[in-house]
Structure 1
Amino acid sequence: MPLRPLGHSWDLFVAIWASLNLLLVVFDISYVPLRNFWLQRQLYLFPGVAIAIPLTFLPDITPYYDPIKGIEPHRDTENYLRRWHDLDQHLLSNKLTTNKSKQLLGQQLALTDKLITENPFLAANKTGTLERIKNRLRQRTGLESARLGAAKLFSSEWLLLNPWPAERIFWQQEVLPLVATNYWRSIDETGRATERFWRIDLVWFQSVFALDILLRVLQLKRRFPALSWRDACLRRWMDLPLLLPFWRVARVIPVASRLRSSGLVDVEPVRVVVSRGVVALLAVELIEVIALQLVEGLQGLIRSPQWEQRIKRLGKPNSFQVAEKQDIEGLLRLWLPLLLGRVLPRLAPQGKELLAYGLQRSLVKTPLSAPLQKLQPVQIMEREFSRQLAAGVIEALLDLSKGTAAELSRDDQRVKDLWLSASEAFWHELGDALGETATLEQSQALLSEILEQLKLTYLSGINSAGVDNLLQKLEQFSDGGLATEP
């Protein structure tokens, strides 16, 4: 019986369910910062400007989601709104000069003073909202003090000049919506703000994810019986964010993987673009670090004062490992016969011409032949003599090289001993010569300067090229590769 009877349908369901969970996670994380939007359902185009686009088609979800975040109406601001409603109802049906009206206006002014001085918005980290209320009171009255502005707005003199039916519009549109955004959020036993989203996540989503991961592990175990349970679980490490109660945004990785595997969304183009950008950025940094380390290592090696001793030790029999010496000897036995026996004989015509020309030029420069240069027979004789002499020399050298190649191709211990002796003498004499002159020190200084210029030009060129050029080259390479596909 198959472990996953629903097959592809189950994969589609899990991919859709995981996508829905990711959207809910993003909504939950952004709910508290965007609670004003969900409460008022208005989109403000510019910050600090009371110009908004009403989105009344959106439902008011705050009564349902506030309990999940532990949000409750703040007692002070709730009482302020309730008292203002009583004042509004009374002034709409009664005259301003009655004692009840004056009492309600004085009461509302006292509540406004309390609102400004005690700042009930501080608990919800919404002090900026109180500042917006104070600014609007100042703008309405033209006074520099928000408390004096509130006293003026609730005075009988102001309301006689500005009737309440018109004045109430300012409060309903400019002030009260800001007061209504305040709230109080409860704290749990750990001292953190109340959070009940984990219950919904655990019951409705993480249980499904755990079942899906279990089925995938069982499927791996069935396909590879030799695989241990621990290794089978570790192969599903990418699904770990689906079960974690924190860092929930990291679920975008397993969700994208499930969307791709189910075929609902083709995320390959996005993956290619992201991976190319990351790889190009890391490649630039990595190449720069590696190249800098190599150049500085070479500079330190070149500046070393022990070059004379190192060069002398190259010719000693114990300066190389046995395997390395055998490899070098094998290469020499392959290449020396090849060069001496096949390559040099094929260069005989060019060598004869070059040597004949050199001999002829040497004869021309001799004082004895200068007066005879005008005679044609002498010129012909010089050319023929030079050619014959060059041919003889070249043939003798070729015979020597062929014989040497034949001897070197043999596995002769005498040849090995002679080669080792010549090599040891060469390196020893080279070390002595460098130690007696300033050539080594000058060479070290010049090579170090060349490497320093390399760091300043090439390595800085890597940074100046930047990631954009690498991405463009990758795009060109990709386009060319796609164009050549059948």
Structure 2
Amino acid sequence: MVRPRWQGVKPRTIQLLWNRWDQALALIAALNLIWVIFDVTYIPLRNFWLQRTLYPLPSINLALPLPWLPNITPLYDPLKGIAVHPDTMSYVEHFRRLETTASKQGINSPAARQMRLELVVKNSQLVDENPFISSGNVGALEKLKNRLRARAEMDSAKQAAAHLLSDRYLSKHDWDQEQQFWNNKILPLAETNYSRGIDENGMPIDLSWRIDIPFQILFLLDILVRTIRLKRRFPAIAWRDALLRRWIDLPLLIPFWRLLRVVPVTERLSRAQLLNLEPLRAAVSRGVVAVLALELFEVITLRVLDAMQGIVRSPNLPDRILRLCSHQSVDSSEERELAELLRLWLPLILTQVGPGMRPQLVALFGHALQRNLDGLVLPAPLRELPGVQKAESELSHQLAMGMVDSLLGLSKSAGDQLGQKDQVLEDLGIQTLDRFWEELARTLEQGVVLERSQELLVAFLEEFKRTSMFQLHTQGGVDELITELDGLNFNPKEPDSNPRA
């Protein structure tokens, strides 16, 4: 029966909608992360947003004005509890009134002269009281004093301000240029100062959570939706486990350590195929895996060698050898398993592996027989006659073929017999192997071979441990290992010299 068209389109449409939903949430999460970065850095960068001027090199008096940026401080300052400082604002406003009076009556008028004297007093109060401490912007006051000193070429900022606003100085200098100096160099520094309110908990006021709450509600809704989708896809999974699958989204919901949101945002952008992080992930994982692999291999190797040395040093080594006997085994099935293993492998070696090596065995035995016959069958003078060496070689070859064929025939028949189920043969094989372990243990207990063997084996393992660790550290380490992996992964394969038709 042909499936109706609408039944095939519906799942694809639903999946497409979910993909669009994931992409939209990923973009919203990225937007939230950008806002979080802006919010965290707003206080340290408030002077930049206020003046919209960039100082790339603070040690050099180089300013790059950015007038196209909007002044967002009037909108965002209330969220941070920031208000203009009354002292510095009075300082700035007094100069603005001086400008208005000077433009109407002149800078040397009695009203302007009185306002200049008042400005000198306010400047002295600004230097003495230092209202910039409350905002942590003490450097602005130091810049203000340094610029006053440099303009007046004096050592005191108070005397410099009094000199710059005196009748003698203004009679020799143009007021427009002096006004430009105050507007461009002094007043912007005073405007950077602010006061910040304190809440009931003694912490600075921060109302930015009002912007973050809608994002957090949306992220919580998305996590619940993803949990329901996972539960519908795998009904056997518990709700708790399905919810814990989205543990990576936890930074999106907590109001602190908000910069950690870069992790879930990156994961969402990658899953939504809006950001390709596979090359970065592969590079990082390759380095981490290489380091862990080397460290893990060193630890495992040392543990295994130390365990082997401990077994060899043990005075109970003969007892350990005796435990290899079948009657010493706790599990009775081990005896049957060993017998079954021998029954499988011995016929395989005797009936298939051995006959397959017949040409090599004939050549080996023939060469050995010919060397043994040299000088034994015929004297040396007779061996120099024509055809004697060839006859001797042929004789050796025939004898070798006969011996090998006899041995292979015997091994094949023995393999066929061993391949058959024979309980008596299995018991005899187990008894023979047990007798071997018993005799070996008894021999080691009676003579001085045990101590000498232990010393030699421990020394061998110690030397192997040192050389293996030295080779691991001298083979280049992690960098060379990563280079080798890159060569295996990225080098193009050589073209096949014999391509198939």
Structure 2 length-normalised TM? 0.80
The one of 271, 288, 296 equivalent to 2:294 is 288
Note if contact 1:40-1:177 (Cα within 8 Å) is conserved in structure 2.
yes
Q: State the distance in 1 between where 2:419 and 2:470 align.
A: 48
The C-alpha deviation readout for 1:276-305, integer Å capped at 9, x for no partner, is 133223212321221111111123123220
The C-alpha deviation readout for 1:179-228, integer Å capped at 9, x for no partner, is 111111111112211111112322x4334444444455555566666665
Counterpart residue number, 1:161: 172
- Secondary structure of the 2:136 match is coil
Note if contact 2:309-2:461 (Cα within 8 Å) is conserved in structure 1.
no
Shift of 1:477: 9.0
1:326 aligned onto 2:336: yes
Q: State the distance in 2 between where 1:218 and 1:349 align.
A: 70
Counterpart residue number, 1:462: 477
The residue type equivalent to 1:76 in the other structure is D
Relative to structure 1, the CA distance from residue 198 to residue 442 in structure 2 (aligned partners, 3 Å threshold; closer, same or farther) is: same
Counterpart residue number, 1:28: 39
Relative to structure 1, the CA distance from residue 226 to residue 340 in structure 2 (aligned partners, 3 Å threshold; closer, same or farther) is: closer
1:337 aligned onto 2:342: no
Relative to structure 1, the CA distance from residue 86 to residue 306 in structure 2 (aligned partners, 3 Å threshold; closer, same or farther) is: same
Relative to structure 1, the CA distance from residue 476 to residue 186 in structure 2 (aligned partners, 3 Å threshold; closer, same or farther) is: farther
Q: State the distance in 2 between where 1:247 and 1:223 align.
A: 33
Note if contact 1:87-1:105 (Cα within 8 Å) is conserved in structure 2.
yes
The one of 389, 401, 419 equivalent to 2:399 is 389
Counterpart residue number, 2:279: 273
Shift of 1:388: 3.8
Shift of 1:239: 4.2
The residue type equivalent to 2:308 in the other structure is I
Q: State the distance in 1 between where 2:60 and 2:288 align.
A: 44
Shift of 1:475: 5.3
1:77 aligned onto 2:77: no
Counterpart residue number, 2:185: 174
Shift of 1:32: 1.4
Counterpart residue number, 2:3: none
Q: State the distance in 1 between where 2:21 and 2:351 align.
A: 74
Q: State the distance in 1 between where 2:387 and 2:226 align.
A: 100
Counterpart residue number, 1:306: 314
The residue type equivalent to 1:344 in the other structure is G
Relative to structure 1, the CA distance from residue 88 to residue 310 in structure 2 (aligned partners, 3 Å threshold; closer, same or farther) is: farther
Shift of 1:64: 1.2
- Secondary structure of the 1:184 match is strand
Q: State the distance in 2 between where 1:444 and 1:162 align.
A: 96
- Secondary structure of the 1:81 match is helix
Note if contact 2:366-2:396 (Cα within 8 Å) is conserved in structure 1.
yes
Note if contact 1:360-1:382 (Cα within 8 Å) is conserved in structure 2.
yes
Aligned positions of 1:216-227 closer than 5 A: 216-217=226-227
1:112 aligned onto 2:126: no
Note if contact 2:339-2:429 (Cα within 8 Å) is conserved in structure 1.
no
Q: State the distance in 1 between where 2:127 and 2:379 align.
A: 119
Aligned positions of 1:183-262 closer than 5 A: 183-202=194-213, 204-217=214-227, 229-255=239-265
The residue type equivalent to 1:185 in the other structure is R
Q: State the distance in 2 between where 1:371 and 1:437 align.
A: 56
Q: State the distance in 2 between where 1:29 and 1:373 align.
A: 102
Q: Is the deviation greater in 151-160 or in 428-437?
A: 428-437
Aligned positions of 1:41-60 closer than 5 A: 41-60=52-71
Relative to structure 1, the CA distance from residue 191 to residue 378 in structure 2 (aligned partners, 3 Å threshold; closer, same or farther) is: same
Note if contact 1:363-1:369 (Cα within 8 Å) is conserved in structure 2.
no
Counterpart residue number, 1:136: 147
Note if contact 1:137-1:149 (Cα within 8 Å) is conserved in structure 2.
yes
The C-alpha deviation readout for 1:411-454, integer Å capped at 9, x for no partner, is 33333333334333444555646934735423432332223222
Q: Is the deviation greater in 216-225 or in 382-391?
A: 216-225
Counterpart residue number, 1:400: 410
Note if contact 2:134-2:195 (Cα within 8 Å) is conserved in structure 1.
yes
1:358 aligned onto 2:372: no
User: Structure 1 regions of 5+ residues with no counterpart?
Assistant: 481-486
Relative to structure 1, the CA distance from residue 283 to residue 120 in structure 2 (aligned partners, 3 Å threshold; closer, same or farther) is: same
Greater RCO structure (CA 8 Å; 6+ sep) = 1
Relative to structure 1, the CA distance from residue 399 to residue 172 in structure 2 (aligned partners, 3 Å threshold; closer, same or farther) is: same
The one of 454, 458, 464 equivalent to 1:450 is 464
Shift of 1:354: 1.8
Relative to structure 1, the CA distance from residue 11 to residue 402 in structure 2 (aligned partners, 3 Å threshold; closer, same or farther) is: closer
Shift of 1:169: 1.7
Relative to structure 1, the CA distance from residue 186 to residue 466 in structure 2 (aligned partners, 3 Å threshold; closer, same or farther) is: farther
Shift of 1:14: 4.7
Shift of 1:68: 0.5
The residue type equivalent to 1:387 in the other structure is H
Counterpart residue number, 2:5: none
Note if contact 2:339-2:430 (Cα within 8 Å) is conserved in structure 1.
no
Note if contact 2:23-2:274 (Cα within 8 Å) is conserved in structure 1.
no
1:126 aligned onto 2:137: yes
Note if contact 1:288-1:459 (Cα within 8 Å) is conserved in structure 2.
no
- Secondary structure of the 1:188 match is coil
Shift of 1:42: 1.7
- Secondary structure of the 2:380 match is coil
Shift of 1:67: 0.4
Q: State the distance in 1 between where 2:154 and 2:380 align.
A: 116
Q: State the distance in 2 between where 1:54 and 1:214 align.
A: 47
Note if contact 2:287-2:478 (Cα within 8 Å) is conserved in structure 1.
no
Shift of 1:98: 6.2
The residue type equivalent to 2:452 in the other structure is A
The C-alpha deviation readout for 1:64-113, integer Å capped at 9, x for no partner, is 11000100111221122122333444455556666655554443333333
The residue type equivalent to 1:276 in the other structure is A
Q: State the distance in 2 between where 1:345 and 1:235 align.
A: 60
- Secondary structure of the 2:205 match is coil
Shift of 1:237: 4.0
Counterpart residue number, 1:424: 434
Counterpart residue number, 1:297: 303
Counterpart residue number, 1:484: none
